[in-house]
Structures are given as C-alpha cells and as structure tokens.
Structure 1
Amino acid sequence: MLQKATKHSGFLREYESDIECIKDTLRLVTVVFRHGQRTPADTYPTDPHINDSMVPYGWGQLTNEGKLNQYNQGLYLRKRYGKLLGTVYSPDIFYLRSTEVDRTKMSAMLEAAALWRPEQNQIFKEDLPWQPVILHYEPKDKDNLLLTTPCPAYFQELDRVMKSAEIIKLQEENELMYQELRNFTGLNIRNPDDIWSLYGTLRAEADLNLTFPYWVKNYYPEKLEPLTKISYIIKIWNPLLQKLRGGPLVRAIVESMRNKTKGILNPNARKMYMYSGHDGSVTSLLGSLGVWELQMPDYNIMTMLELHEDQNGWNVQIFLRNSTKVEPYSLTLPGCSTICPFNDFLELVKSIIPEDWESECQVEDSNYIPPSPSPP
C-alpha cells in the first residue's frame, strides 16, 4: 500500500518501501523494458496526419503519459529493489543502457531519475531532486543486444520460415486483408511484420485521440492484433532464430550472473543492469528463453531476471510485468522450476547462446543480401 509523501533527506518521497518485495537472498538483477507510450514513429501514405508535426512531442517521441509511466516504473523499481541497491548512486552498482533511439534514451533517464533521487552529498542543487546517471548505448547497426541488426544468417533463416507450410497457410488466410489494407493505406503490406508496423502507428494515433479514416474501425484493433502478436513469434520461431536474435542478450545476462557467483564480476559491487529497449527487445529475450506467450507487449513491459543465493546455493528467478497497471508474475523456464537452480539454468540456456555471433551470422551464399531490419 502506498504511503503519503514524507520528508526524507530534504526531499518529498512519494513512495516508501512498505512492502516486502524482495528477499535477502537477491544478489543481482537484470531489468529489460520497453519504452513508454509514444507518438507515431512512422506512418502510411494515405494517413490524414502524415504532415502533422506531433506538437509538442515530435514523431516517435514519448508523450507526457509515457514519461509519467516510465518515471512511476522507476519508483516501482526503487520500492522493489531499494534494499538491494541502497540509496547512493554509483556506476559500479548500477549499469544503464538503451538503444540509440530518442524514446528509449529518454525512458532510461526517466526510470533512473526515479530510481536514484540524490541523497545527502549527491545533492548538487537544493530544489532539484535529480542527479545525472551514466547512460550507455551502441550505434543501431552494432546493437545486437536490444535490436535486430544486419545478421545475414538470421534473415536467411527467417526467409525459410516464411516459406514454411504453416506460414504460407497463414499468409493465404490473410491475403484478402493484406490486399484491402494495401488499397486503403498505400503501403505494400505483405506479412505479419507489416501488420505490426501499421498496428503500432494506429495505436499511437489512438492514444493521441487523433481522428481515423473511415476504414480503420473495420480493422483496428481487432483484426490487426492477432497478426501483430504472431509477428513477434515468427521472429523467434525456431532455435536458430532465437540464438541469433535473443542469444546475445541472454549471453550478456548469463555471463554477469556467472561472474557474480564466482565473485569476479567487474565491478564487483554491481547490483543491477538495466536495459531500455523496444517491444522486440523484451519478446526476443523471453522468446529465446522459451517463456514468451502469444500476447501483446504493452508500453513499459518489463522483465526482471534475478540471481539469488540461499542455503541451497544459487538460483535464477524470472518475472514479467506486462503493464504498469499490474504486478509482475513469475515465469518458469521449460525444464526447470520457478526457482531454477543456477547450474540447471545454465544447462537449459546454453544451446541459445552464440559462441561467436559475428561468425555465426555469416552465410555460405556470398551473393545473399539481407533485408534492412524493421525500424524499432
């Protein structure tokens, strides 16, 4: 239950840790989340709002509601993990990374602002309850942890999946709708990924209460949502796609956990890794682990991978919070229990961890040119 604001180190604290969210056994946590509510990131040729400047935000940027929800999620993390983290920010304790996209950078900074309000000697301006936190990111074409990067083997395998009998049947069942939407939008809509893109645009416009063309009500959201859900599954359809798409992030998480259990994590004081990404960042990670269900990843969707140490040794626990309106729930790795012994966890995920991702992305056909990844 939330308490009223109280005075704390010279600042008002809207939230206090009055519930026991986390056990004393927690040693390390990795948080991966999607950015908050945004304006449309792209559009379609017949969109009546195509020339809208999206004042006061701009295209593809967080709305005020999106900013507030991200900040509140940071407060939630402070409540849940405050005992683990302590109150004094240090880059040795907390690592923050986002994609090279405005809305994920902003989302990362908003969550960090709520998570690390300054204490005592970290206060540099008395009327400003904020402090800067170091933010890391990689160029879009190099970020294989949180984005789909140019990996020829991934796209070649994805081509094969799209030509499988199951997907061809899905395509045939939806070809009439594809054709209708091509006529209405002016887009070359051919597959669930194209539906995902259109759905994202319409969702963002709906959140802004923009007026839709007459035809939209016949498709959005009911007819577009099932294929949008399927689009996430197709991208991680089989073990190879999971390995090449979600494997690098799984590897980074596993390496930090392994080093923590051995006492060689650098820096040794590290308690939390936080990754600010996109819907695909979360679904690819959880899909690679075999715990993603056919559902819509909402704005702010967040997964938490916790490393615990108790009397029985080390274990991993995974949680998912698909909305800022609900509490997280436990996920169970196939072949293990909800509280998964660390060695069992390592054994279960080793097949999806690439040994040399760059070389595994290469293909035998030197003439194969992979398509450009979809915008995040």
Structure 2
Amino acid sequence: MRIFTILIITVVLAFADGESIVKYAAVIFRHGDRTPVEPYPTDPWKNESLWPVRFGQLTNLGIRQHYALGGMLRKRYSMLISEKFDPQEVYVRSTDVDRTLMSAQANLAGMYPPSGDAIWNPNLMWRPIPIHTLPETEDEVLAMKRNCDTYNVKKKAYINTDEYKTRLSKFQGLMNLLTLYTGKKIEDYEDINEIYNTLLVESIHDFTLPKWAQLLYPDKLRGPSCYSFTTATATPIMARLMTGPLLKEIVGKMNTVITKENPNPLKLSIYSGHDFTIGNVLNAMGLYDGNCPVYTATIFFELMQEKSTMNYYVQMVYRNSTGTAEPYILDIPDCGQMCPFDRFVELYSNLVDVDWHTECRYQIPWLTEALFALEMLVLFFLLYTLYYMRVRAGEESKRRSQPVYTIPIKEDNNNLV
C-alpha cells in the first residue's frame, strides 16, 4: 500500500512538473451579430426601418454574444489577470467602427463585472474600461486599411495572374446570376461574400429570402465567399504587409515578457476586429481551414511557460462558434501544438520582421535607378558650383590684394572752358 501511494504521488508530481502556465495572451475576435452593412439594390429588405438598428450596427444579439465571450475569457484567464481592471495588465484595441467598439465594450462588461468598491452605481452593474482606436485610414495594425503602395502593386499583380483568373472563371456563371438578381455588378470573391453576408444576416433575423436566393444560399455561395478570406494574403509579400504589423506587435509583447525588460509586462492584449481580420491572420499563418469566420470568432495567441524547464512556448487556439463550443488548439505548421517561442519566431519571420513604413514606399526599379542618377548629377552640379565659386573668390581676393598704380594727370588750364 505504501509503495502504491508513493507511485501515485510520483505520477502526480511528474504531471505537475510538465504543466505549463499562461504568461501572456493576445486575443483577436470578430464583432457580434449586426444588421446588413449595405443591402443590394433589389433587396426586398433594404428599408432600414424594418431593422432594429441602423445598417452595419451591432444588434442586441451581438451584444449578448460578446458579453458571453467576455465571461468565457474571464474564466480562461482568471489566473493571469486581476478581478478588477488594471491598465498595466490589459490593453484593448478596436478598429474605428461602431460594431467593433461596441463589441469590445460588451465583451469587457462580461470580463469585468464590478464588485466591491468598483461598483459606482448599484443599479448599473457595469464599469467603463478604456478602448483604444485609430481612424481606419491610419491603422495598418488592426484595421489593415492604411494605404500601402507596395501592397497595392502586389495585389494588382496577383489578381492578374492566370491562376487567379482561371479559378475565378469557374464562378462566372454564379456571378452573372448574382449580377442579374441583385442589380449589383458582381466581379470577384469579395463581391460574392458581400451578398452571402447580407443573406446570412437576413436569414438569422428571420427575413424570408427571395426565391433565387433560396436556390443559391448558402451552399452555392459559401465556397467562393469563404475563399475570399485568402485573397488579401495570397502571397508571402501580401501576407507580410497585411498582417505583419499586428503579428509583430504580438510577438514583441511576448518577447518583453520573456526578456523581463519591463518588471510589469502586459498580460493580455485584446483586439476587436472583423471577419477580414480573423481570415487574414489565419491564412497568413497557414492556419485557415476554409470556413468563414463567424460572429465572435476568436484567435488566441498564448505564451506558455513550462514549469519543469521554464522554457517558453506559443500555443494557438481558435474558436469559430457563437455558441458554447470550446475553442480548440491549432497545429502550427512544422511545429505542432506547443511551439517553442524561438522556433515560432523563426517560422513566421517573414511576417514579424516587417518594416511596414519603409517597405510600403514602393519604388519602380528603373525609376529608382533614374532617381539615383539624377541625385548624383545634382550633387555633381552643386560641388562644381561650389568649386567654381571658391576659385572665383580666390581670384578676386588675389586681384584686390595687388597694389593699384595710377597715372598722374597734369591739369592744363588752357583746355578749361
């Protein structure tokens, strides 16, 4: 009996030694349920008065979805963050869009139900928490919409490839039908996805779809719609410029924890974005499974430290459900479910090493050479001008330093008038 007890204790300790704890986490989620952003021209439900809130806004369902997700995050990270909000522990950022800002607010309400002296109004169990944002046109990190000349050139080149055109041509018949029935020109995957999303929202809110839509939605539209989330990060350089700034920021926060540069490092970063955000990150990292990111779809980046070795690992978790389904651990390509931090950084160096502002200043190769030659010509002209001016100045100085001889003129009074 004694030997058996010792054996049990040994096994328990062995498992305990192998445990890992979360030292930092970055959470990226999509907003909750919303109304259609822009109904198509022939949409029978395009009258905004038929909807509970204005177009593109978060609904009560969306608020409840994110409040529930916030409660789940509280349970998941109860050992990482304090019960009361601490700005040194948690940083929240959202795109500058009403539905993402409101989703973040609802999520935080679920994460931080006030208690004790955090209750400022007993009739309102809610406490304001700061959410940071930037205008979308200035935000390359989360909105991913800041202009990048290099990216624009690379994407244009990509959509003109035979591979892209050949694949898209398979849906030409579908796009023709959608153009006919919606009254809107449908030309690519993004256009198909816009119609798919509108029909999805209308079906969620129990609006009867037109007969043509019932024949096409969801089965005929789902494939090309979900494929649209691969096109923005289709090539390594496109993925680098689109998602690099966000992943660089997350990896940088992890590195701060590991190196202990800051005695009070951030513990949790929360990013409130869109399906576009989720799809871009997953596809850029080789983790996209082809399914459209649903409302509240969430990616978890977790920096884990193994208790026995004190080594650091990255664990990625995904939740693509608005229900109670638990998130599942992702297999990081060529690394597995628990990827050593250094290996993780090495695998995704193409993304995290980005120098976005420098790389986005696109220069045409021949133009770069021409500009360099012009700069050299201007420099030569300036140097020659300076040299010439110095030579002339030296000659003038020399001339002035020589004695001046004058010939005396004898006055002739006889010549005076």
Give ranges in structure 1 of 5+ residues lacking alignment.
1-22, 367-376
Q: Which residue of 2 aligns with 1:277?
A: 273
The question of whether the paired residues in 2 share the 8 Å contact of 1:33 and 1:278 is answered with yes
Equivalence map 1:179-328=2 (5 Å) = 179-265=176-262, 268-310=264-306, 311-312=308-309, 313-325=311-323, 326-328=325-327
Deviation at 1:69, TM superposition (A): 1.0
Name the CA distance, whole Å, in 1 between partners of 2:158 and 2:334.
26
Name the CA distance, whole Å, in 1 between partners of 2:103 and 2:20.
29
Q: What secondary structure sits across from 1:283 in the alignment?
A: helix
The question of whether the paired residues in 1 share the 8 Å contact of 2:241 and 2:354 is answered with no
Name the CA distance, whole Å, in 1 between partners of 2:343 and 2:353.
18
Corresponding position: 1:98 with 2:97: no
Deviation at 1:24, TM superposition (A): 6.1
Q: Which residue of 2 aligns with 1:124?
A: 120
* 1:162 equivalent among 137, 159, 175: 159
Q: Which residue of 1 aligns with 2:359?
A: 360
Equivalence map 1:59-74=2 (5 Å) = 59-74=55-70
The question of whether the paired residues in 1 share the 8 Å contact of 2:96 and 2:133 is answered with yes
Corresponding position: 1:145 with 2:141: yes
Name the CA distance, whole Å, in 2 between partners of 1:159 and 1:54.
39
Q: Which deviates more from structure 2 when the two are superposed, residues 165-174 or residues 67-76?
A: 165-174
- Normalised to the residue count of structure 1, the TM-score between the two structures is 0.87
Deviation at 1:54, TM superposition (A): 4.5
Deviation at 1:52, TM superposition (A): 2.4
The question of whether the paired residues in 1 share the 8 Å contact of 2:257 and 2:265 is answered with no
The question of whether the paired residues in 2 share the 8 Å contact of 1:99 and 1:138 is answered with yes
The question of whether the paired residues in 2 share the 8 Å contact of 1:39 and 1:54 is answered with no
Deviation at 1:309, TM superposition (A): 1.5
Q: Choose 1 or 2 for highest CA Rg.
A: 2
**What is the aligned-residue RMSD (CA, Å)?**
1.7
The question of whether the paired residues in 2 share the 8 Å contact of 1:84 and 1:271 is answered with yes
Q: What secondary structure sits across from 1:106 in the alignment?
A: helix
Give ranges in structure 2 of 5+ residues lacking alignment.
1-18, 366-417
The question of whether the paired residues in 2 share the 8 Å contact of 1:244 and 1:354 is answered with no
Name the CA distance, whole Å, in 2 between partners of 1:253 and 1:107.
21
Name the CA distance, whole Å, in 2 between partners of 1:253 and 1:341.
15
The question of whether the paired residues in 1 share the 8 Å contact of 2:294 and 2:322 is answered with no
Q: Which residue of 1 aligns with 2:333?
A: 334
The question of whether the paired residues in 1 share the 8 Å contact of 2:253 and 2:266 is answered with no
Task: Report % sequence identity.
Answer: 34
Task: Spell out, residue by residue over 1:332-370, the C-alpha distance to the aligned partner (whole angstroms, 9 max, x if none).
Answer: 22121211111111111111125321221232359xxxx
Deviation at 1:269, TM superposition (A): 4.5
Q: Are residues 188 and 357 of structure 1, via their aligned partners in 2, closer, same or farther at CA, if it must alter by over 3 Å?
A: same
- Normalised to the residue count of structure 2, the TM-score between the two structures is 0.79
Q: Which deviates more from structure 2 when the two are superposed, residues 180-189 or residues 106-115?
A: 180-189
Deviation at 1:166, TM superposition (A): 2.1
